């Protein structure tokens, strides 16, 4: 063991010397905090200390709502709108100025409101992911939210926990802590009685009691505020949306610059042309894009939470939608995690009760471990900890450690003599009680016999009066498959997700359970793929139905090899040693009952056991992805429809088909319904989904070009056939662009289906779409911001738009059936 508070680096022992958690407290105050009775703090004392020290959380710097609202007037897009408003004021186009200023206010108000709703939703999800702590109060151990801890509380910290505050260790053998998040050092640090441990450290080994010395901002972690400013990496989804935005901006700037140059050559008014150009760019740029992104992901996260899957990183929703391989834990995910003792194998001269008694002595009731629970359940009828005779006392206990793979205890009998007991993996106990050839052969036979029944072998050993270890026998533990596992795995395969079992159990156990749930029996032992590289290793892992006898580091290796094969990989886990694999996976999933360390490393935390929760989350995430894909198709198609039509009219016909005010009004009434696409009904794809920008651009561009052709036909009819005045023509074109643009939402949202086929739009989306289209039409009917065209012309344009909408829908269905890769 390393010396207390030190770590090994480059072969030398280095001092572990972060700032003391007690540096900000006086000696008297620290002495008061550390003076805690044997029963912990009382409820009254806790309340007093809460008043004095506050809650155990780090206050976030929250921006004042007014400053946040004003922030919507700052940035490239708001600047362009503001310049357009300023230009309209300079040339005294006060009507234009009023409309443009109104657009600025509406964009800011809608964005502020939607972001506020999204932040509230995310805050509620954070509360559900809040850490808990085991604390001694009023003489009883209880589990409370870590936020409620106060200095002086007695807490119990064990393997997999995140230390909930700065603490002084008081009772137990040792802790091995990962302090890399605090000190930047990758090697774990050993701590013993009297040492300080820091909030945010992860317990890798050991189990101890401690007294809380610092909470909230008074902790070492709390004072290291720079750790809280880490910016998460941009997700694939965010990158795709940014690419869409850049594409539209480049298209808009290029066409508008061409229009501006041609207008200058024609000798038109520079201020008027510049104002029109700026407004055209504003209308083409996706001003609602940030709000649509935030709201869609936040609404999706809330929907996932209702399905018992809490998202800790919003961008993980996209990875979950594209996941094609899920590496799933066996225990608690495929099986019930309801372990019971199914069989006991004993060596000659040893009784079953002796084996159970030794196993019970090397277990701890307060650990809440399912194996320990099964042992105590079997031993409950034979006295305390399974010992028939009274007078036995556990004087020392070492909890289970995943490295040596056993737990151990020292027991004093009624006569004052002592002996040691241990339980753990058969090979681990073989390292203590070295078996002879005959005993080893019998052990191997027992392990195989139990494994073929689907039982996990738990070995038990004990020291004799001379202190030598002896093997007592094996306990067969059975964890039956969940009732829904087989149906869930079948459904996962239908959704294009290849589920692979990952377990540390014997290969025979894995094959037995995998066969029962329909996974298949191509199970690879850890020895078959360890050290594998390249295409051969990838093919081996792709073809396997699962992996057995796996160590935690092998999970990480499995994830990395599969990712190199262009798979989007999900990994479930629950222990501290699963954290590297969970962090490396595209979708790290902490299962129900996972340790705090696993939860902190995962992207998604399940609050209900079983694979079915993961499938629910996949289904929901694919619907979210489809909504965002629909938004991309709509936004690109609408920009092409409006921008190319206006640019061609100006360049080829020297005619402005709409005024600057009309463009602003169009931008306003288009942004309102598109915000509600986050709440729309959507079809979940039958296979994993990924962004395919070429396909999206092709579909959207074809829909947009069809719209350009319709608009040109209407323009020709109005000017050349009916010989209408320019003002009337502009109003007609405005109504057509407004109505047809809103109908494009229905074209984009239904994919390869006709617009009347389910899923139908939600009432909120349908209502907002139709009401804003009617609002825009009423402006043209009553001559608001434009020349009046009356009801008759307005109805004719609606009929015209609906007629071509039906044609476009038929074209779209044929296109989507050929181009769209998802069913």
- Write out pLDDT tens, residues 300-312: 788 888 888 888 7
- Across the range 671-675, mean pLDDT stands at 79
Percent with pLDDT over 90 in the chain: 23
- Write out pLDDT tens, residues 710-759: 999 999 999 988 899 999 999 999 999 999 999 999 988 887 788 999 88
Half-sphere exposure of 173 (CA within 13 A, CB side): 18
Weakest-pLDDT range from 159-163, 184-188, 259-263, 628-632? 184-188
E strand or H helix at 746: helix 726-749
More confident residue, 151 or 601: 151
- Write out pLDDT tens, residues 486-524: 998 999 999 999 999 998 888 888 888 998 899 988 998
* pLDDT tops 90 at residue 90: no
* Radius of gyration in angstroms for the set of CA atoms belonging to the chain, rounded to a whole number: 34
DSSP state of 335: B
CA atoms of 779 and 774, how far apart (whole Å): 9
Q: Is 65 left (phi over 0), alpha (psi -120 to 50) or beta?
A: alpha
- Across the range 793-805, mean pLDDT stands at 95
Question: What's the predicted TM-score (pTM) here?
Answer: 0.72
- Write out pLDDT tens, residues 773-793: 999 999 999 999 899 999 999
Predicted pLDDT of residue 286: 67
**Active site residues per annotation:** 329
Predicted pLDDT of residue 534: 60
687 by Cβ neighbours in 10 Å (0-12 / 13-18 / 19+) ranks as middle
* pLDDT tops 90 at residue 202: no
Predicted pLDDT of residue 766: 94
* pLDDT tops 80 at residue 386: no
* pLDDT tops 60 at residue 291: yes
More confident residue, 456 or 37: 456
More confident residue, 574 or 712: 712
* pLDDT tops 80 at residue 96: no
Q: Which residues contact 349 (CB under 8 A, 6 or more apart)?
A: none
DSSP state of 229: G
CA atoms of 299 and 620, how far apart (whole Å): 11
Predicted pLDDT of residue 19: 43
Closest Cα to residue 637, out of 518, 776, 746?
746
DSSP 631-700: HHHHHHHHHHHHHHHHHHIIIII---SS-HHHHHHHHHHHHHHHGGGGGS--PPPSS-----HHHHHHHH
Q: Spell out the alpha helix ranges (H) of 35-154.
A: 43-53, 65-70, 76-90, 94-128
Half-sphere exposure of 488 (CA within 13 A, CB side): 24
Predicted pLDDT of residue 804: 95
Predicted pLDDT of residue 4: 39
β-strand 340-346 against 393-401: which pairing, if any?
A: unpaired
Joined tokens for residue 307 = 């399905």
Contact 283, 667 (CB under 8 A): yes
Backbone angles phi, psi at 722, to 5 degrees: -95, -10
Weakest-pLDDT range from 244-253, 562-571, 608-617, 699-708? 244-253
CA atoms of 153 and 147, how far apart (whole Å): 12
* pLDDT tops 70 at residue 24: no
**Arithmetic mean of pLDDT over the chain:** 81
Predicted pLDDT of residue 394: 87
Q: Which residues contact 247 (CB under 8 A, 6 or more apart)?
A: 636, 697
More confident residue, 115 or 721: 721
Predicted pLDDT of residue 418: 92
More confident residue, 155 or 26: 155
Percent with pLDDT over 70 in the chain: 82
DSSP 504-568: SS-HHHHHHHHHHHTS-S-EEEHHHHTT--HHHHHHHHHH-SEEES--HHHHHHHHHHHHHTT--
Q: Quick one: pLDDT band at residue 146, thresholds 50, 70, 90?
A: confident
Q: Quick one: pLDDT band at residue 2, thresholds 50, 70, 90?
A: very low
- Across the range 657-671, mean pLDDT stands at 82
Contact 263, 287 (CB under 8 A): no
Weakest-pLDDT range from 28-32, 628-632, 794-798? 28-32
- Write out pLDDT tens, residues 468-485: 999 999 999 998 888 888
* pLDDT tops 70 at residue 288: no
* pLDDT tops 60 at residue 186: no
Q: Which of 58-67, 198-207, 234-243, 704-713 has the highest mean predicted lDDT (pLDDT)?
A: 704-713
* pLDDT tops 50 at residue 232: no
């Amino acid at each position: 063991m390393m010396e207390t508070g030190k770590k090994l680096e480059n072969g030398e022992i280095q001092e572990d010397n972060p700032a003391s958690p007690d540096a900000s407290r006086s000696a008297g105050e620290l002495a008061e905090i550390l003076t805690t009775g044997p029963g912990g703090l009382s409820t009254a004392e806790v309340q007093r200390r809460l008043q004095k020290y506050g809650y155990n959380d780090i206050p976030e710097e929250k921006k004042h709502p007014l400053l946040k609202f004003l922030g919507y007037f700052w940035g490239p897009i708001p600047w362009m709108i503001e310049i357009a408003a300023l230009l309209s004021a300079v040339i005294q186009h006060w009507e234009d100025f009023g409309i443009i200023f109104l657009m600025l206010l509406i964009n800011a108000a809608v964005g502020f409101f939607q972001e506020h709703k999204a932040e509230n939703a995310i805050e509620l999800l954070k509360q559900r992911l809040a850490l808990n702590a085991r604390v001694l109060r009023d003489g009883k151990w209880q589990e409370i939210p870590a936020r409620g801890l106060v200095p002086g509380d007695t807490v119990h910290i064990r393997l997999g926990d995140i230390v909930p505050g700065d603490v002084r260790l008081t009772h137990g053998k040792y802790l091995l802590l990962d302090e890399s998040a605090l000190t930047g050092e990758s090697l774990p640090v050993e701590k013993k009685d009297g040492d300080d441990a820091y909030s945010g450290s992860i317990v890798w080994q050991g189990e101890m009691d401690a007294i809380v010395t610092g909470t909230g901002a008074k902790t070492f972690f709390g004072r290291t505020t720079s750790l809280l400013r880490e910016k998460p990496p941009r997700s694939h989804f965010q990158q795709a949306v940014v690419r869409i935005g850049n594409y539209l901006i480049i298209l808009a700037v290029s066409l508008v610059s061409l229009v501006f140059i041609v207008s200058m050559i024609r000798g038109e008014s520079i201020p008027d042309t510049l104002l029109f150009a700026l407004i055209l760019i504003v209308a083409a740029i996706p001003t609602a894009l940030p709000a649509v992104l935030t709201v869609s992901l936040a609404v999706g996260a809330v929907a996932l939470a209702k399905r018992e899957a809490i998202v800790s990183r919003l961008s993980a929703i996209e990875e979950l939608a594209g996941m094609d391989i899920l590496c799933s834990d066996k225990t608690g995910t495929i099986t019930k995690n309801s372990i019971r003792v199914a069989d006991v194998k004993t060596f000659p001269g040893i009784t079953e009760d002796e084996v159970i008694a030794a196993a019970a002595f090397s277990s701890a009731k307060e650990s809440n471990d399912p194996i320990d629970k099964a042992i105590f359940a079997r031993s409950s009828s034979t006295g305390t900890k399974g010992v028939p005779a009274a007078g036995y006392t556990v004087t020392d206990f070492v909890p289970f450690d995943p490295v040596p793979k056993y737990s151990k205890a020292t027991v004093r009998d009624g006569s004052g003599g002592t002996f040691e007991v241990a339980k753990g993996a058969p090979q681990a106990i073989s390292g203590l009680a070295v078996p002879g050839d005959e005993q080893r052969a019998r052990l191997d036979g027992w392990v195989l016999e139990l494994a073929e029944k689907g039982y996990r072998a738990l070995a038990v050993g004990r020291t004799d009066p001379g202190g030598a270890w002896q093997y007592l026998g094996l306990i067969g533990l059975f964890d039956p498959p969940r009732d829904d596992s087989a149906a869930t795995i079948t459904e996962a395969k239908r959704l294009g997700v290849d589920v692979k079992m990952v377990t540390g159990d014997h290969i025979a156990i894995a094959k037995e359970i995998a066969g029962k749930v329909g996974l298949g029996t191509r199970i690879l032992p850890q020895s078959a793929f360890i050290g594998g590289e390249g295409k051969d290793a990838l093919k081996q892992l792709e073809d396997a139905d699962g992996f057995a006898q796996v160590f935690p580091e092998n999970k990480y290796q499995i994830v990395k090899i599969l990712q190199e094969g262009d798979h989007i990989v999900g990994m479930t886990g629950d222990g501290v040693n699963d954290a590297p694999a969970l962090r490396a996976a595209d979708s790290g999933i902490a299962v129900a009952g996972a340790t705090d360390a696993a939860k902190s490393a995962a992207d998604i935390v399940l609050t209900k056991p079983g694979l079915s929760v993961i499938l629910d989350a996949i289904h929901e995430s694919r619907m979210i992805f489809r909504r965002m894909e629909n938004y991309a198709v709509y936004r690109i198609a609408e920009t092409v429809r409006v921008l190319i039509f206006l640019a061609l009219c100006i360049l080829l016909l020297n005619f402005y088909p709409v005024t600057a005010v009309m463009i602003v009004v169009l931008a306003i009434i288009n942004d309102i319904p598109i915000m509600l696409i986050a709440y729309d009904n959507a079809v979940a794809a039958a296979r994993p989904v990924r962004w395919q920008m070429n396909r999206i651009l092709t579909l959207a561009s074809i829909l947009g070009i069809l719209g350009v052709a319709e608009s040109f036909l209407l323009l020709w009819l109005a000017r050349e056939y009916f010989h209408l005045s320019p003002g009337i023509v502009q109003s007609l074109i405005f109504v057509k662009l407004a109505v047809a643009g809103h109908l494009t939402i229905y074209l984009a949202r239904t994919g390869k289906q006709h617009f009347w086929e389910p899923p139908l739009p939600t009432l909120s989306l349908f209502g907002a779409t139709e009401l804003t289209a009617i609002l825009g039409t009423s402006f043209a009917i009553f001559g608001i911001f434009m020349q009046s065209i009356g009801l008759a012309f307005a109805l004719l344009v609606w009929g015209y738009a609906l007629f071509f909408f039906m044609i476009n829908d038929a074209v779209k269905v044929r296109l989507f059936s050929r181009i769209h890769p998802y069913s």
